[in-house]
């Protein structure tokens, strides 16, 4: 970060030839302004956005104008061969940031000088590159607002998110950002801004344009909507039938300029307003399922709920499907009943004295079943104990009812799947507290045993096997660890690379927490040894275990993680590191307090005393499973 800042500042001493300025002016005039005009009101001028700072002009000339790659692929260039110190630094770090941006789906990554507001680096090279967020042409953008917020909140680990807003360097297209301060030790050295991946949000909402196969039929749709009633996700109708979509917009008297922008961007985000009773209920904090008119005025089966992802990211989620599609089988069945009844009336009249009960009873059963379905009870079965047309009709009714019930359950499962996204990364108790409105979740636990483990040598063995084999093997090992942790009632905290962190007695106090942690550690030794032998690979595991008080807390704003803080977690990790250096292969290093509690149950060997940074000396003991 500091090398980018220093080399950026040096460029202000460069002399800019008039020919460069002329070519940069033509770029703004021919490339940038025409595309910007499509998505913004008024008549944008080159003078408003043309850079005035020497360093900005220098970098935008070399990385935009003289860049031989197309506009949407400018990030491919590593070094423009201008001989500057900045370009040497750019060539060194740009491939790394570009890989991070591609791998995690971020549309852009930017580094900001926290003192000056200069954007000293960005992966994509647009007109925002090398500008100033304090006094430059984009000083009033969402990125600038997020930068200002992070300047006033300089705590380590802080994350801030800002909702979608038109962003001029992106030709006025909606952009959302997540940002965090960058520290070198205890010193703040810059601000990191990430442009959120809109495509990933749309993929989750529309399922790669396969909603029909995910229980939403022909008319189902999932939408994210902001508190301003503007859409935050892609429209299914726009993707599947653009002509019909724009006809509906025109019938709703949407202003032509808004329709034009939606056509240009092929997206309704921050452009299409959605107003319906379901949206209003969700905005007011309610959730439920009901039959309501959607924003087009069409009767629909709608599920709605508020969706608060961060302090500045307060949306609602709507899942809907037209009622005529939901109840189409019932309408067809009703017509069949009417036709059948019309045919049977003369026969019933003639034979009523003899066959009335036999003929009328099945019809009443079918009518009763139909009324139950209309009342919303889809798990209806009609029994007709005869082998005639009524029996066939009842069978058809039961098949229709079963299909309708399956469709209803598929819709409910889709809704549950959306609600379950949070549960994939957080404990259930933490999710419950989030839903109850807690903004910050942190607890202190008095007596917890922390296990920190690392698979040593695995990364080196990855050079000899394929990526698929490496990931699959590590996943098998971690899954075996998870199963073992569950058997010993030990709470898994996190897995990062080849490191594994778990805690015993965290959410539920246990008297045998230390023994269960050690038993888990011994089983992990056997698991790793078995996999290493089976795959004929040379890797092992080293484990550290320590007991004491910990702090458990929820970190992050949009991508949550539950982690352990405090001296106990720190010492457990340090014991694992010391074990990796001074211990034995496939062994466990424990502290004196654990040894004293369990010395009668296991055969420990002393490793003497070690120096804990900032803590003094600590007696430690080594335990193996007998394989070494």
User: Which pLDDT band, with edges at 50, 70 and 90, does 15 fall under?
Assistant: very high
Mean pLDDT lowest among 35-44, 68-77, 353-362? 353-362
Q: What is the pLDDT of residue 364?
A: 67
509 pLDDT more than 50 = yes
Asked if residue 218 and residue 90 are part of one domain, the reply reads no
Predicted confidence at residue 206, as pLDDT, reads 65
Residue range(s) defining the domain that contains residue 281: 200-324
Q: How far apart are CA 60 and CA 63, in angstroms?
A: 5
Q: What is the pLDDT of residue 387?
A: 67
Q: Are residues 241 and 130 in the same domain?
A: no
Which of 53-67, 294-308, 397-411, 559-573 has the weakest average pLDDT?
397-411
Domain count, the chain: 4
Q: Cα 63 from chain centroid?
A: 32
142 and 109 inside one domain: yes
Q: How much is the pLDDT for 483?
A: 94
500 has pLDDT over 90: yes
Mean pLDDT, residues 455-470 taken together: 91
Lowest mean pLDDT among 437-446, 507-516, 595-604: 437-446
Top-confidence residue, 323 or 60:
60
Residue 408 has pLDDT above 60, yes or no: yes
Confidence of residue 393 (pLDDT cuts 50, 70, 90): confident
Predicted pLDDT at 440: 84
pLDDT at residue 213, as a whole number: 41
* 524 in Cβ contact with 481 (< 8 Å): yes
Can you give the pLDDT at residue 527?
A: 94
Among 62-76, 77-91, 331-345, 609-623, the range scoring the smallest mean pLDDT is 331-345
Which of 296, 324, 352 is a domain's end point? 324
For helices 85-104 and 2-10, the axis angle rounded to 10 degrees is 130
Task: Find how far residue 34's CA is from the centre of its chain.
Answer: 34
d(CA 316, CA 436): 16
Mean pLDDT score, 525-535: 92
DSSP state of 214: G
pLDDT digits (tens, 9 = 90+) for 394-405: 777 778 877 777
Of 278, 309, 324, which residue is a domain's last? 324
Q: Among 53-67, 491-505, 551-565, whose mean pLDDT is lowest?
A: 551-565
d(CA 493, CA 355): 71
Give pairs for 246-254: CB < 8 Å, separation 24+.
248/296, 252/296
Q: Are residues 190 and 216 in the same domain?
A: no
More confident residue, 219 or 503: 503
Q: What is the pLDDT of residues 274-288, one digit of tens each?
A: 888 988 998 898 999
474 and 555 share one domain:
yes
For residue 428, the model assigns a pLDDT of 66
For residues 34 and 132, state if they share a domain: yes
Strand order in the sheet with 299-310: 221-226, 313-322, 299-310, 288-293
| HSE, side-chain direction, 13 A CA sphere, residue 212 | 8
pLDDT tops 60 at residue 628? no
Dihedral sign from CA coordinates of 244, 246, 249, 250: negative
Q: Is the pLDDT of residue 353 over 60?
A: no
Give me the pLDDT at residue 323, please: 85
**Phi, psi (deg, nearest 5) at residue 198:** -60, -40
Mean pLDDT for the stretch of residues 12-34: 94
Region 523-529: what's the mean pLDDT?
A: 93
For residue 541, the model assigns a pLDDT of 92
pLDDT interval class at 212 (50, 70, 90): very low
pLDDT of amino acid 150: 87
Element (H, E) at 33: helix 33-39
* Residue after which a domain boundary falls, among 324, 353, 378: 324
Which of 110-114, 168-172, 295-299, 466-470 shows the lowest mean pLDDT across its residues? 295-299
pLDDT at 4: 92
pLDDT of residue 205: 64
Q: Verify that 49 and 116 share a domain, yes or no.
A: yes
Same domain, 218 and 264: yes
Alpha-carbon distances, residue 68 vs 64, 191, 319 (angstroms): 8, 30, 45
Residue 119 is predicted with a pLDDT of 95
* Model confidence pLDDT, tens digit, residues 598-612: 999 999 999 899 988
Q: Within a domain: residue 256?
A: yes
Q: Is residue 244 part of a domain?
A: yes
Nearest to 63 by CA among 10, 14, 124: 124
Q: Is residue 423 part of a domain?
A: no
Q: What is the full DSSP assignment across 575-628?
A: HHHHHHHHS-SSEEEEEHHHHHHHTTTS--EEEEEEEETTTEEEEEEEEE-S--
pTM: 0.50
Give the model's confidence band at 427: pLDDT under 50 very low, under 70 low, under 90 confident, else very high.
Answer: low
249/394 same-domain check? no
Is a pLDDT exceeding 80 seen at residue 120? yes
Predicted pLDDT at 284: 92
Q: Is the pLDDT score of 382 beyond 80?
A: no
339 lies in the same domain as 384: yes
Whether 413 and 435 map to the same domain: the answer is: no
CATH number for position 77 = 3.30.450.20
Alpha-carbon 50 to chain mean position: 36
Q: Which two tokens mark 335? A: 């017509």
């Amino acid at each position: 970060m500091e090398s980018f800042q220093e080399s950026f500042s040096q460029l202000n001493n460069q002399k800019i030839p008039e020919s460069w300025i002329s070519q940069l002016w033509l770029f703004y005039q021919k490339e940038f302004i025409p595309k910007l005009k499509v998505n913004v009101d008024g008549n944008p001028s080159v003078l408003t956005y043309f850079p005035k700072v020497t360093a900005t002009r220098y970098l935008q000339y070399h990385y935009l104008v003289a860049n031989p790659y197309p506009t949407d692929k400018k990030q491919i260039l590593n070094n423009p061969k201008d001989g500057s110190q900045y370009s040497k630094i750019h060539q060194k770090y740009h491939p790394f940031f570009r890989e991070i941006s591609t791998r995690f789906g971020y549309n852009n990554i930017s580094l900001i000088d926290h003192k000056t507001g200069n954007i000293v680096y960005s992966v994509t090279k647009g007109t925002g590159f090398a500008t100033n967020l304090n006094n430059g042409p984009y000083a009033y953008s969402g990125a600038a607002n997020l930068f200002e917020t992070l300047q006033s909140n300089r705590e380590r680990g802080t994350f801030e998110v800002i909702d979608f807003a038109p962003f001029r360097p992106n030709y006025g297209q909606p952009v959302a950002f997540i940002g965090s301060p960058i520290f070198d030790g205890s010193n703040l050295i810059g601000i990191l801004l990430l442009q959120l991946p809109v495509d990933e949000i749309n993929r989750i909402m529309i399922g790669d344009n396969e909603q029909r196969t995910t229980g939403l039929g022909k008319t189902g749709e999932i939408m994210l909507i902001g508190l301003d009633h503007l859409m935050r996700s892609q429209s299914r109708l726009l993707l599947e039938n653009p002509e019909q979509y724009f006809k509906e917009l025109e019938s709703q008297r949407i202003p032509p300029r808004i329709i034009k922008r939606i056509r240009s961007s092929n997206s309704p985000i921050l452009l299409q307003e959605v107003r319906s009773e379901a949206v209003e209920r969700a905005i007011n904090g309610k959730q439920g399922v009901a039959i309501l008119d959607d924003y087009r005025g069409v009767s629909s089966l709608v599920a709605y709920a508020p969706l608060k992802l961060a302090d500045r990211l307060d949306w609602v989620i709507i899942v809907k499907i037209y009622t005529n599609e939901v109840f189409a089988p019932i309408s067809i069945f009703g017509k069949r009943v009417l036709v059948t009844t019309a045919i049977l009336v003369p026969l019933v009249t003639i034979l009523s004295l003899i066959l009335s009960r036999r003929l009328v009873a099945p019809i009443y059963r079918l009518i009763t079943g139909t009324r139950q379905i209309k009342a919303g009870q889809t798990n209806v079965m009609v029994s007709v104990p005869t082998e005639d047309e009524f029996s066939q009709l009842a069978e058809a009714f039961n098949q229709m009812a079963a299909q309708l019930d399956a469709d209803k359950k598929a819709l409910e499962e889709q809704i549950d799947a959306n609600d379950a996204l949070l549960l994939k990364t957080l404990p259930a108790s933490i999710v419950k507290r989030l839903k109850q409105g807690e903004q910050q979740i942190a607890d202190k636990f008095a007596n917890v045993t922390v296990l920190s483990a690392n698979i040593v040598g695995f990364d080196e063995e990855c050079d000899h096997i394929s990526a698929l084999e490496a990931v699959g093997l590590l996943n098998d090992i971690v899954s075996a660890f998870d199963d073992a942790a569950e058997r010993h009632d030990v709470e898994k905290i996190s897995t990062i690379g080849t490191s594994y962190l778990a805690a015993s007695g965290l959410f539920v106090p246990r008297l045998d927490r230390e023994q269960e942690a050690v038993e888990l550690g011994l089983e992990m030794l056997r698991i790793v040894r078995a996999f290493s032998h089976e795959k004929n690979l040379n890797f092992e595991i080293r484990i550290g275990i320590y007991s004491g008080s910990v702090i458990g807390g929820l970190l992050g704003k949009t991508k949550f993680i539950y982690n352990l803080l405090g001296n106990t977690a720190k010492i457990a990790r340090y014991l694992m590191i010391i074990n990796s250096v001074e211990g034995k292969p496939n062994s466990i290093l424990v502290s004196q307090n654990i040894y004293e509690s369990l010395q009668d149950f296991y055969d420990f060997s002393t490793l003497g005393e070690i120096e804990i940074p900032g803590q003094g000396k600590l007696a430690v003991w080594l335990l193996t499973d007998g394989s070494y």
